[in-house]
């Protein structure tokens, strides 16, 4: 039973995790980094080949811009993966200094909306059903712009994108407390994202990036609430010690990831209608192993969450047995699920140890030798 549920797990890796990334202080280049979206897909296919549960890859436009998106989607299929969410980018153009869809100048707003609609065209061309919208829009000083007017502009753009979506398509609106804006961020929290999506309809849902909250935020509460409202569209999984650190999911706080997956499973969110996406940057560690480890971290947290004895938990909760209820959850969390997952991988025809199997495969040595010359992919920031 639990193995069947784990066998059906689907985690989406981000194309940008395979490219160079860093901080404002330094972007460290690495050997063998892809030079184009085709090579990024090839690396993502390795993560699926060794974990068996990472069959889709999120793209980011323009970082993954190509002449023929249908050909790119075919290339993905030939590699055994598929194009997942299309991520818009209205945060790197000089015109967007004061905002994109919320900019005071309607000319800039129209340009930003044009990009969002282009991303829907790319969904049509690649067969993707999900558009992920994150806006860096915000202000840095009180008085810089009118908070309410910016919300009106945002709502207008979201309505236009919503209108353009096909019947089987949806968009996920991402919120973030701050950065790059440091006074007001126009979509700063789940409530703002939820309110905008509620007004629009079922094709608009909220994505929870686990690095986008104020310290101390109970993220699993947000997850439980959004699931109850049928407004949880997906996750951008990563982890952090301080701010939007974009570290490997589960690395900084594996217990939080377990609590999140516990609420996902309990709230009916463990299924194809919720996108489990990674959104990470491997600034210093090797990228493909970093993604394999991240997928395994989500898998381990999921296995532990599936092990929770929910009947015993419900009984303890009904009885007001605080310690008993907590113990039921901690028993599952403290269970070593690695032997179970090793068995599952063997039953799936995979090596029980994906990290060791990838290291033995020689793939890194191959790409390090082949990918010489050309411009390594990155954020281009
Ligand atoms: C913003 C964000 C968003 C992406 C970007 C790569 O911080 O989380 O999801 O577009 O990272
Ligand atoms: Mn994100």
pLDDT, one tens digit per residue, over 309-356 is 999 999 999 999 999 999 999 999 999 999 999 999 999 999 999 999
Q: How far apart are CA 3 and CA 226, in angstroms?
A: 27
Determine whether the shortest distance from the Cβ of 237 to ligand 1 is under 6 A.
Answer: no
Which ligand minimizes its atom distance to the CA of 15? 1
Which ligand minimizes its atom distance to the CA of 187? 1
Q: How far is the CA of 199 from the centre of ligand 2 (A)?
A: 23
pLDDT at 230: 98
pTM beyond cutoff 0.85: yes
Q: How far is the CA of 325 from the centre of ligand 2 (A)?
A: 33
- What average pLDDT does the chain have? 97
Residue 67 has pLDDT above 70, yes or no: yes
Helix (H, G, I), strand (E, B) or coil at 106: helix
Please answer whether residues 171 and 130 qualify as being in contact, where contact means their C-beta atoms are separated by less than 8 angstroms: yes
Which ligand minimizes its atom distance to the CA of 235? 2
Atom of ligand 1 nearest to the CA of 87: 10
Atom of ligand 1 nearest to the CA of 244: 7
Mean pLDDT confidence for 104-111: 98
Q: Measure Cα distances from 74 to 68, 81, 82, 125, 247 in Å.
A: 10, 9, 8, 10, 31
Q: How far is the CA of 155 from the centre of ligand 2 (A)?
A: 20
Determine whether the shortest distance from the Cβ of 175 to ligand 1 is under 6 A.
Answer: no
Identify the CA nearest to 151 among candidates 140, 139, 163, 142: 139
pLDDT confidence tier of residue 379, bands split at 50, 70 and 90: confident
Determine whether the shortest distance from the Cβ of 137 to ligand 1 is under 6 A.
Answer: no
Closest residue (by CA) to atom 11 of ligand 1?
Answer: 279
Closest residue (by CA) to atom 9 of ligand 1?
Answer: 134
Tokens of 252: 């900084």
Q: How far is the CA of 14 from the centre of ligand 2 (A)?
A: 10
**Best residue for ligand 1 mutational test, from 60, 92, 177, 209 (most atoms within 8 Å of Cβ):** 209
Q: DSSP strand E in the chain: where?
A: 11-14, 56-60, 82-87, 130-134, 138-139, 170-174, 184-185, 204-209, 232-237, 275-278
Residue 300's φ and ψ, nearest 5 degrees, are -65, -45
pLDDT at 20: 97
Mean pLDDT confidence for 65-79: 98
pLDDT at 381: 56
């Amino acid at each position: 039973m639990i193995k069947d549920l784990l066998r059906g797990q689907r985690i989406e890796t981000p194309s940008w995790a395979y490219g160079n990334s860093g901080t404002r202080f330094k972007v460290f280049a690495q050997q063998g980094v892809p030079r184009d979206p085709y090579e990024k897909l090839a690396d993502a296919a390795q993560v699926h080949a060794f974990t068996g549960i990472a069959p889709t890859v999120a793209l980011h436009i323009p970082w993954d811009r190509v002449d023929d998106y249908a050909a790119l989607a075919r290339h993905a299929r030939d590699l055994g993966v598929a194009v997942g969410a299309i991520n818009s980018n209205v945060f790197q153009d000089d015109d967007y200094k004061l905002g994109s869809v919320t900019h005071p100048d309607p000319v800039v707003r129209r340009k930003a909306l044009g990009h969002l609609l282009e991303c829907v065209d790319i969904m049509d061309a690649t067969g993707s059903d999900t558009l992920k919208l994150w806006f860096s829009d915000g202000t840095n000083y009180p008085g810089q712009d009118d908070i309410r007017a910016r919300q009106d502009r945002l709502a207008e753009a979201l309505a236009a994108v919503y209108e353009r979506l096909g019947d089987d398509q949806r968009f996920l609106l991402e919120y973030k407390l701050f950065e790059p804006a440091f006074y007001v961020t126009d979509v700063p929290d789940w409530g703002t994202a939820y309110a905008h999506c509620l007004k629009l309809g079922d094709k608009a849902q909220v994505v929870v990036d686990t690095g986008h909250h104020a310290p101390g935020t109970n993220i699993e509460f947000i997850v439980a609430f959004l699931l109850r409202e049928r407004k949880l569209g997906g996750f951008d999984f990563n982890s952090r010690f301080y701010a939007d650190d974009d570290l490997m999911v589960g690395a900084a706080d594996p217990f939080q990831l377990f609590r999140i997956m516990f609420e996902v499973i309990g709230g009916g969110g463990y299924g194809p209608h919720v996108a489990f996406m990674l959104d990470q940057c491997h600034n210093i560690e090797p990228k493909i192993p970093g993604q394999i480890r991240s997928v395994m971290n989500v898998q381990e947290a999921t296995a532990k969450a599936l092990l929770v004895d929910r009947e015993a938990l419900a009984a303890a909760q009904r009885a007001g047995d605080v310690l008993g209820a907590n113990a039921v959850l901690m028993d599952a969390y403290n269970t070593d699920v690695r032997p179970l997952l090793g068995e599952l991988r063997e039953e799936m025809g995979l090596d029980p140890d994906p990290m060791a199997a990838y290291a033995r495969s020689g793939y890194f040595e191959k790409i390090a030798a082949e990918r010489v010359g050309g411009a390594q992919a990155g954020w281009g920031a």
